[in-house]
Structure 1
Amino acid sequence: MESLPKRNLAVLVAAQSLGGASAPIVISLGGLVGQQLSSNPGLATLPVSLFNLGLALGTLPAAAIMRRFGRRSGYLLGAAIGVVSGLIAAAGIWIGAFAVFCFGTFAAGLYASYVQTYRFAAADGCEPSERGRAISWVMVGGLIAAVIGPQLVILTRDSVSGVAYAGSFLSQAALAMIALPVLAMLHAPRPASEAAAKGGRSARQLLSSPSFLLAVMAGVVSYGLMAFVMTAAPMAMVGHGHSVDHAAHGIQWHVLAMFAPSILTGRLIARFGKERVTATGLVIIGLSGAVALAGLDVTHFYISLILLGLGWNFGFIGATAMVADAHTDAERGTAQGLNDFIVFGTVAAGSFFSGALLQTSGWSLINLLIFPAIVLVLAPLIWRMATAKSVPAP
C-alpha cells in the first residue's frame, strides 16, 4: 500500500461510509414510500428503480467530469447532488407527491454514481498486486454505511411529526453534507493531459477484448443479481407478514455482509487470484437463491440476504480488480466509465423488472432467475482459469 497515500485512503474510507449510507436508506424505504404515495401497486418499486437508473446514467458524465476537472472536484459535485437529493425526496413525502419523491431518489442515484468510483480512486497508482487490497480497504467504509443507513431509517422515520419516513431522507441529505468537507481533503492526481486522455483503445475496442469483456460481465452479474433480489426483498418480507423493522434489519444484515469481508477479500485476491474469488462469489449468490426458495420465515430472508451480500462482495470486488488489470493508464477514464455504465445500466433494468415481477409472479421466480445468469458468467470464468493453468509460464 506504499503507493497510496494514507491520507487519501482515510478520506476515501470516510467518504464511502457517508455516501454509501444513502443506498440502504433508499432501498429500505423506497418501495414502502412508493406504496404509500402511488395509487398503482405495480409502481411501488419505481423509486428504487429510478435510484439505480440515476446511478447508471450518471456514470459516464461523472467519468467525463473527473477526467476534465479531477476526482476531487467531481466528488464535491457528487456530494452536493446528494444533499439536494435528500431534500427533494423528503419534500416529495411531505407534500404527498410521488413524482417529486421519485425525482429525489433519481438524484440520489446520480450521487451514487460518484460514490461508486471511490473504489477505482483507491486503485489509481497502485501496483497490480496491491489493487485488490486497496479496493477492499476503501469498501470497508461500506461496513460503516451498513450500520449508519438502516439505523437512521429506524431512528428517524417518525422524526417529522405526521409525515412518516420524511426524516430518514433529511438524514440522507445531512450525511451528504458531512461528506463535503471530508472530500475537500482529498489530494488526487491531476487529470491526465489531453493527449494522454485520447490515448489507448476506444470503447468498442475495449469491449472486443476478452479479458475486459469477461470482467465487465462478472460485474454485471454480481451486482445485477444482488440489486435484482435486494430491490424486491423488503416488499417481499412485508408482503409475507414480516414487519418494516424486520425488513430494515434484513437490509442491514445484507449490507453488512456486502462490506464486512472487504479486508479479507483483498488478501484472498492476492493469494488465490481475482478470477477464483469472483467465481466463488457467484457460487455464493447461487446459494442465497437456494435458501430463499427453501422457505419464507424471517430466518430464510435474513440468511438469504446475508449470503447475497457476501457473494456480491467476492464477485464485485473480484470483477473490479479484473477491470483494473484490463486497461492501461491512458484508457482508465474510458474503461472505468464504460464498465460502470454497463454494470449499473443492467442494475437499473433489473430493478425495474424486479418490482413488476414480484407483483405478478412472486418471490420464488425472482430467486429462480438467479441460476441461469450465474452459469452465463461462471462457465467462461472457469474456462479462463483452466486454460490459464494449462499455458506454461514463460
Structure 2
Amino acid sequence: MSRALGGDALAKRNALVLALAQALGGASPAIVVSLGGLVGQTLADKELATLPVSLINLGLASGTIPAAMLMRRLGRRSAYILAGLIGVIAGSLAAAGIGAASFPLFCLGTFVAGFWGSYTQSYRFAATDTASESFRPKAISWVMVGGLAAGIIGPQTVIWTRDLIGSAPFAGAFLGQAVLALLTIVVVSFLRAAPVTTVSKTGGRPLSEITAQPRFIVAVVAGLVSYGLMSFIMTAAPLAMIGCGHSIGEAALGIQWHILGMFGPSFFTGSLIARFGKVQVTAAGLLLIAVAAVIGLSGITVAHFWATLILLGIGWNFGFIGATTLVTECYRPEERTKVQAANDFLVFGSVAVASFSSGKLLNAGGWDNVNWLVFPPVLIALALLAWQKRAKAPVPA
C-alpha cells in the first residue's frame, strides 16, 4: 500500500510537469491547423491547401515508432529534450518557407512539427509509468488538462504574431511555435519518470500476440475513430468557414473553442471513467462526435460552426482518453513502450489519412459531405464497444 502511495506521489508530480509541457507543445498543432490551410492557399493550388495540415498528421504517425525506440534507449526525459529541439527546427522551417514563398519548405516544416508531436502525444502514456492502476485515468486526464492552456496559447499566438513580419504574413506565428518548443525543453527537464526499459530480458510477449487481443483491437478502433473523425472535421472547418463568408479571426476563434472543448473536460474525465467505466465514457464521446456532425449539417452560421467544433472537441476528449485507458490494460510493464508505439502508429496513421482526404472531400462535396461521412465509423466503433463490454478478460499479470 505504501508503495502505491509513493508511486502515485511521483505520478502526480510527473503529471503536473507533463501537463505544463502539453500546454506548450500542444499549442503547435493549433497553430498549424489555424494557418496551414490559409498559407497553403497562398503558396499553392486550392486542392493542395490542406496538405500542410495533413502532413503534420503524417509526421506524427511516422514519428511514433522512432520516438518509442529513442525513449526506450534514452529514457523519457532525454528523448523529450531532443524532441523539443525538433520542434524548434519545425517552426523555423515553416517560417522560412513562408518567407521564401516556398510551399515545399513550408510543408517540410509542418511535417517535422508532426514528428515533434509524436513525442508530445506520448506524454499521456508517460504519466502512467509510475501510476497505480486506479490513478491511471486521472494521470492521463491531468496531462490532457494541459491541452486546455494549449487551446488558448496556440490561437492567441496566431492572433498576436501572425502580422509580426510584414513582408511574410503568418511567418511570425511559426517563429512563435519555435519559441514554445524551446520553452518545452526547459519544462521536461524537470521530469522524473521511471526509466523506459524492459523488465524482463525477453521484452514480454510478441507484439503480434498483444495486438491480436480483441480488447486491444477495440481500444485502437475507438481511438482512431475518435481522433480520425476529429481531425477530419477540424481540418475542413476553417476553410469551410472562410468559404461561407466568415473571417479568418472567426475561424481561428472557432479552433480555439474547439481545443478548449478538447481539453477542458479533462478536469473530470478521469473521475467519470472511475465512476461509469472506460467503455461507457468512450461510447459517450463517440455519440457526441455524431451530434457535432448533426449540428454541422443543420446550418452554416458562425454559431453552427462553433457549436460543431466545441462538441467535436468534447467528444474527442471522452473517446480518446477512454480509448487510451483501455490500451493501458492490454500490456505488462515490460511491454508498454512497443504497445504504446503500435497504438499511436495505428491511430495517427488513420488521422493522417483522414486529414489528407478532408480537403479533397470538402472541395468535391462541400461541408455537408464532410459531416455525413462521420456516422458510419461511429456506428462501427460503438458496435465493437458494445461487444467488448460483454467480454471481460483479465488484465495482464
Task: Pick from 16, 20, 27 the counterpart of residue 21 of structure 1.
Answer: 27
Task: Pick from 281, 285, 309 the counterpart of residue 281 of structure 1.
Answer: 285
Aligned equivalents of 1:278, 1:8: Cα separation in 2: 25
SS in 1 for 2:134: helix
Gaps of 5+ in 2: none
Aligned to 2:157: 152
SS in 2 for 1:129: coil
**1:327-376 per-position Cα deviation (integer Å, ceiling 9, x unaligned):** 11111011100000000000001100111111111111111010000011
Aligned equivalents of 2:108, 2:25: Cα separation in 1: 18
Aligned equivalents of 2:323, 2:123: Cα separation in 1: 15
Task: Pick from 91, 98, 101 the counterpart of residue 96 of structure 1.
Answer: 101
Indicate yes or no: 2:252 matched with 1:248: yes
Aligned to 1:347: 351
Aligned to 1:34: 40
Deviation at 1:197, TM superposition (A): 6.3
Task: Pick from 255, 261, 283 the counterpart of residue 257 of structure 1.
Answer: 261
The letter of the residue matching 1:13 is A
Aligned to 2:116: 111
Aligned to 1:132: 137
Give the number of equivalent residue pairs. Answer: 388
SS in 1 for 2:86: helix
Task: Pick from 378, 383, 388 the counterpart of residue 384 of structure 1.
Answer: 388
- Report which stretch shifted further, 337-346 or 153-162: 153-162
Aligned to 2:296: 292
Aligned equivalents of 1:159, 1:191: Cα separation in 2: 41
Task: Pick from 356, 361, 365 the counterpart of residue 360 of structure 2.
Answer: 356
The letter of the residue matching 1:196 is S
Aligned to 2:58: 53
Decide whether the 8 Å contact of 1:228 with 1:350 is kept in 2.
yes
Decide whether the 8 Å contact of 2:16 with 2:142 is kept in 1.
no
Q: Give TM-score, length-normalised by structure 1.
A: 0.96
The letter of the residue matching 1:385 is K
**1:179-215 per-position Cα deviation (integer Å, ceiling 9, x unaligned):** 111111111222324x736422222212210011111
The letter of the residue matching 1:43 is L
Aligned to 1:234: 238
- Change over 3 Å in CA distance of 1:343–1:197 after alignment to 2: farther
Deviation at 1:175, TM superposition (A): 0.4
Decide whether the 8 Å contact of 2:295 with 2:308 is kept in 1.
yes
Aligned equivalents of 2:266, 2:307: Cα separation in 1: 19
- Report which stretch shifted further, 174-183 or 4-13: 4-13
Aligned equivalents of 1:211, 1:201: Cα separation in 2: 16
**1:15-59 per-position Cα deviation (integer Å, ceiling 9, x unaligned):** 000000001000000000000000x21100000000000000000
- Change over 3 Å in CA distance of 1:110–1:201 after alignment to 2: same
Decide whether the 8 Å contact of 1:281 with 1:312 is kept in 2.
yes
The letter of the residue matching 1:79 is G
Decide whether the 8 Å contact of 2:98 with 2:170 is kept in 1.
yes
Deviation at 1:387, TM superposition (A): 5.3
Superposition RMSD in Å: 1.5
Decide whether the 8 Å contact of 2:215 with 2:330 is kept in 1.
yes
Indicate yes or no: 2:165 matched with 1:175: no
SS in 2 for 1:164: coil
SS in 1 for 2:245: coil
Indicate yes or no: 2:146 matched with 1:141: yes
**1:223-247 per-position Cα deviation (integer Å, ceiling 9, x unaligned):** 0000011011100100110000010
Aligned to 2:275: 271
Indicate yes or no: 2:391 matched with 1:367: no
Aligned equivalents of 1:118, 1:197: Cα separation in 2: 26
Aligned equivalents of 1:326, 1:97: Cα separation in 2: 45
Q: Give TM-score, length-normalised by structure 2.
A: 0.95
Percent identical pairs in the alignment equals 54
Aligned equivalents of 2:192, 2:131: Cα separation in 1: 15
Indicate yes or no: 2:39 matched with 1:9: no
The letter of the residue matching 2:235 is T
Decide whether the 8 Å contact of 1:146 with 1:255 is kept in 2.
yes
Indicate yes or no: 2:88 matched with 1:83: yes
SS in 2 for 1:187: coil
